[in-house]
Amino acid sequence: MDECRVHPQPARPRSSTAQVRSRWTFFHQQFLLCCPNAYLRSSYELIWFQLIALRLRSPIENCVDSHKILIDAIERGEVDGACKLLEGHVFENEERYCIACGVA
């Protein structure tokens, strides 16, 4: 998790798209590496590029804070709490992603 604390930093205004994509891909893949659900892992592999495009088109104001809270819960060994935080993190952005995709 120490490396994840470095990578969720917000992109600087002059960061290239490749730098942003690399930073966010690394961070999210750390969670998938620990995931025992092969279906979830393979599903994410199918859509990761779309999620990056959405993040670049419609940045999340609180993403760094919500990522830090999630890392803290994991480091404390609060698995159930971390799962609830992760679920909340994903679904709090559902409407925003639907709007960005034109399906709202």
Question: What are the structural domain ranges in the chain?
Answer: 2-101
| Residue pLDDT, tens place only, 33-73 | 888 899 988 988 888 888 777 777 766 666 778 788 988 99
* 3, 63 contact by CB (below 8 A): no
Tell me, yes or no, if the pTM score tops 0.85: no
Give the separation between CA 30 and CA 77, rounded to whole angstroms: 16
Cα–Cα distance measured from residue 39 to residue 44, given in angstroms and rounded to the nearest whole number:
9
